[in-house]
Amino acid sequence: MNLNDVEILYDRETVKEKVKELGKKISEDYQGKNLLLVGILKGAFVFMADLIREIDIPLELDFMDVSSYGMSTVSSGEVRILKDLDYSIKDKDVLVVEDIIDTGLTLKYIKDMLLKRGPKSVRTCCLLDKPARRTTDINPDYVGFIIPDEFIVGYGIDYAEKYRNYQDICILKPSVYQK
């Protein structure tokens, strides 16, 4: 591990406390409902794994893998589905679990698409929110941390598929990706 590449933004203990808090809130809000968590791969898989263990009501989970069309720096808002859900979401109370919301284009696309499949409700939960770069009117229903406009890695989140295994939420030093 090259820890010189990163700076810790939220350490593992702080993240653990926040995930616990989110799980408690979700458990209260979804009491008696038909909760289905939909994790967005791959970035949300670590968050999802910890979050479900902080929720103490019955739940189901599924995953979806998406990628943005076009250039990596300019999102067109159109999203390609690489892996769709395994099951129907009809009559489910869907909670989409995402790592980061930035422009909001990805989450908006996913939410609009899921709403057409006849769920009872669709809400969203993002571990990290970068409101500075939002170009859509979507705001997540549950947010872990509101963060500055920095490039984040760790706790499942990658840069070029690396750093997902770091246990803390970190800022990737610009010198790494500006080389």
Kindly tell me which of 94 and 96 has the beta carbon lying closer to ligand IMP.
Answer: 96
Q: Is 144 in the site for ligand IMP (CB under 6 A)?
A: no
The CA distance from 91 to 83, in Å, is 21
Contacts of ligand IMP in 44-103 (CB under 6 A): 75, 98-103
Q: Give the residue with the Cβ less far from ligand IMP, 93 or 102.
A: 102
Q: To the nearest whole angstrom, how small is the minimum distance from the Cβ of residue 43 to ligand IMP?
A: 5
- Is 106 one of the binding residues for ligand IMP (CB under 6 A)? yes
Nearest to 153 by CA among 74, 99, 96, 73: 99
Nearer residue to ligand IMP within complex by CB, 59 or 64: 64
Phi, psi of 11 (to 5 degrees): -75, 170
- Using alpha carbons only, give the angle 44, 169, 176 rounded to the nearest 5 degrees: 105
Catalytic residue among 5, 50, 93, 102: 102
Query: To the nearest whole angstrom, how small is the minimum distance from the Cβ of residue 15 to ligand IMP?
Result: 15
